Structure formats: structure tokens, C-alpha cells
């Protein structure tokens, strides 16, 4: 059973309770700014691992596994890349507790049994209940170090999780309760961004959306977004929302899915088309770039779509439809 920690005193007590003599700490460059967290770790035997990229490679995660060999605990401090790398190390080191301290509010990785790594540019999806972090520490103050672009793209990632989970073929009453709660909160915060953005609420909403996709999994938005990040360098949440702003309206126009009406209600809208317009409007108001794509880019994107995630979408998409959707998602004007 996962335990949520909300104070650094609680974090130190948690670390002490594990009896850890040596801790593998997986973190990014911002770690040096987290002075309060560093005070918690004073006097402990820490092995620092920073050798991973924003889209972590399997060989980087294997190095984390090697460094974990003499450790009794894993501490992941960062966004989805740090946490996913640490999850892989945990999977290869059964029984070692994993503590996640998210420093972004979007990936929801601290709540899920999934990890995403890359091998030779190819996305690997790892799924195992054993890699769900044992403890999660929430400190909204850590989000102040997040660059503005990544704050926005992370929030859009969480909103995409809530949307996709809602319409996933694997959705359950429980996952939809999580989706509804997260979608309602995130919509309110992004509809009047940045004035309405609350780091504490965003962390909770991102976590709740993560709990939703932990049950239902993601769908076409995520299946179609990974190669966009690979080709154009847009952040993951930016890419996912770019896809979903088109897929949401497409679903409204091409399906009678009852979940779309529930989504509209969660977003404070009177109709599903109004809700789809609101999502697209949020994306636009956040000033998220739409990259210009060539025919070759479209062909590469269409050939890259993750078939497993695509199966979770409530309408089967043909290859021709995927191509046309990519043309709507990206700027293909001459």
C-alpha cells in the first residue's frame, strides 16, 4: 500500500524506518537547489545518479541498476524521467523500497505501474505492479524551480491523462472518479492560467490523473505523441496535448461515446463540443507551438504509432485516418 508523505520530517522518518544504510538517489540538475531536501539527507550514505536524459535510455537505466547493487533504498527526485529510471532499478532489485519526490506536476509516474524508456530511439513500455513507488513525498515548493514551458507542458500532460483515461476502453467506475476529479481541478487552473495555478492542487491533480491511467492506461493521444517529441523536440505533455486537442473534437464528431458528455460536465461545459473547444482554447492560450511538418515527417509519424495504446482508443483508427489526424495536429502548410 503506497504511503503519501507531506513533510520533510515525515520523509526522514520514512527513510529511517526502511533501515537503509545506503541510498541510490536518482535526480536531475535542479537537485542542488532543493536545500530543504538536502538537509533531510545530511548524514546519510548517498550514491547520486544523474546519468539519464529527458527521454531515458535503457542503457542509462541499466547503469542505475548497477549502482543500486549495494543500496538498501532508492530515492527518485524529479519528473517522469527520473522516476521511470528509478522504477527500472527497483524492478531489477526486488524488495528495495522506492521513494518518489516529484518535482513536476504532470507525469503522474509516482502513481503508476508504468515506466517509459528508449532503446535505439524506440519506446519501451514497462509494466509491473512491483515498480509503483512505496512512498511519495509532495512538496509544492519544488515546482517553483520548474521553467515556465515545462510547468505548462506538465499540466497539459496531466490533463491529457485525465481525458484519455475517461474515454479509454479500459475505464472503470473507479478510474473515472479519478479522471473526473483531476479534469475538473486542472481545467479550473489552466482556464485562467497563470493566476489560478496552485502548485499544491496541481500536484494532487496530477497524482489523481496518474491513478486514473494506472487503471485504464492511456490511448491514442499518447500512442501518437512520442514520435512528435522525437522529431520536433517538444516536451512530452506538449506533444500529448497537441494530439488530444484534435482527437477530442474528432471523437465528438465521429462517435456517440457517453463518456464525452461526462467529460463536458467535469470541465464545466454544457456540451462535448464546447468541452473540446475549451481544451483546444487552453492549448492555444498557453501559447504552445505547433511544429511545421513535411510529408516525410507525417509518414514517419504514422509508422511509429504504438499499437497497444491505440487499442485503448474507443474508435478503431485506420492508417489513412491516422495520417489525416497528424495533418490536423501539425502545421503542414507550405
Kindly state the helix (H) or strand (E) to which residue 246 belongs, with its residue range: helix 236-254
CA–CA distance, 255 with 250 (Å, rounded to integer): 8
Q: How many CB atoms lie within 10 A of CB 147?
A: 10
Q: How many CB atoms lie within 10 A of CB 205?
A: 29
pLDDT tens digits, one per residue of 234-285: 999 999 999 999 999 999 999 999 999 999 999 999 999 999 999 999 999 9
Q: How many CB atoms lie within 10 A of CB 316?
A: 8
CA–CA distance, 11 with 99 (Å, rounded to integer): 9
Cβ atoms of 219 and 309 within 8 Å: the answer is yes
DSSP-based three-state secondary structure for 170: coil
- Sequence-distant (6+) residues with CB within 8 A of 314 are 167, 168, 169, 219, 251, 255, 257, 259
Q: What is the structure's pLDDT at 33?
A: 96
Domain boundaries, the chain: 3-143, 147-329
CATH architecture group of domain 147-329? Up-down Bundle (1.20)
Is the CA virtual torsion 309, 248, 150, 7 positive or negative?
Answer: negative
pTM, rounded to two decimals? 0.96
Q: What class does CATH assign to 3-143?
A: alpha beta
| 10-residue mean pLDDT series, the chain (334 residues) | 95 93 95 95 96 94 96 97 97 94 98 95 91 98 96 98 98 98 98 97 98 98 95 97 98 97 98 98 98 98 89 96 98 88
pLDDT tens digits, one per residue of 12-28: 999 999 998 999 999 99
Q: What is the structure's pLDDT at 333?
A: 86
User: Which candidate, 268, 283, 107, places its Cα nearest to that of 188?
Assistant: 268
Task: Give the single-character DSSP code of 72.
Answer: S
Amino acid at each position: 500500500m503506497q504511503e503519501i508523505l507531506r513533510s520533510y520530517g515525515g520523509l526522514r522518518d520514512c527513510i529511517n524506518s526502511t533501515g537503509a544504510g545506503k541510498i541510490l538517489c536518482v535526480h536531475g540538475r535542479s537537485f542542488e537547489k532543493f536545500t530543504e531536501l538536502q538537509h533531510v539527507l545530511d548524514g546519510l550514505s548517498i550514491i547520486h545518479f544523474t546519468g539519464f536524459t529527458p527521454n531515458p535510455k535503457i542503457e542509462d537505466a541499466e547503469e542505475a541498476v548497477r549502482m543500486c547493487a549495494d543500496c538498501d533504498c532508492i530515492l527518485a527526485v524529479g519528473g517522469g524521467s527520473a522516476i521511470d529510471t528509478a522504477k527500472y532499478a527497483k524492478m531489477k532489485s526486488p524488495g528495495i523500497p522506492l521513494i518518489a519526490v516529484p518535482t513536476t506536476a504532470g507525469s503522474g509516474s509516482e502513481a503508476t505501474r508504468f515506466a517509459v524508456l528508449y532503446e535505439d530511439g524506440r519506446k519501451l513500455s514497462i509494466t509491473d505492479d512491483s515498480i509503483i513507488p512505496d512512498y511519495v513525498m509532495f512538496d509544492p515548493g519544488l515546482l517553483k524551480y520548474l521553467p515556465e514551458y515545462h510547468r505548462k507542458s506538465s499540466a497539459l500532460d496531466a490533463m491529457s491523462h485525465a481525458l484519455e483515461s475517461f474515454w479509454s476502453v479500459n475505464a472503470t467506475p473507479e478510474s473515472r472518479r479519478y479522471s473526473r476529479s483531476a479534469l475538473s481541478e486542472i481545467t479550473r487552473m489552466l482556464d485562467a492560467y497563470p493566476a489560478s495555478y496552485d502548485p499544491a492542487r496541481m500536484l494532487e491533480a496530477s497524482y489523481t490523473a496518474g491513478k486514473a491511467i494506472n487503471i485504464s492506461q492511456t490511448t491514442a493521444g499518447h500512442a501518437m505523441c512520442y514520435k512528435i517529441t522525437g522529431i520536433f523536440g517538444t516536451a512530452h505533455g506538449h506533444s500529448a496535448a497537441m494530439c488530444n486537442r484534435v482527437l477530442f473534437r474528432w471523437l465528438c464528431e465521429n462517435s456517440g461515446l457517453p463518456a464525452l458528455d461526462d467529460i463536458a460536465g467535469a470541465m464545466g461545459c454544457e456540451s462535448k463540443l464546447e468541452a473540446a473547444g475549451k481544451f483546444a482554447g487552453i492549448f492555444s492560450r498557453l501559447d504552445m507551438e505547433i511544429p511545421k511538418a513535411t510529408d516525410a515527417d507525417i509518414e514517419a509519424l504514422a509508422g511509429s504509432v504504438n499499437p497497444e495504446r491505440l487499442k485503448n482508443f474507443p474508435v478503431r483508427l485506420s492508417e489513412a485516418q491516422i495520417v489525416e489526424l497528424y495533418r490536423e495536429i501539425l502545421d503542414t502548410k507550405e
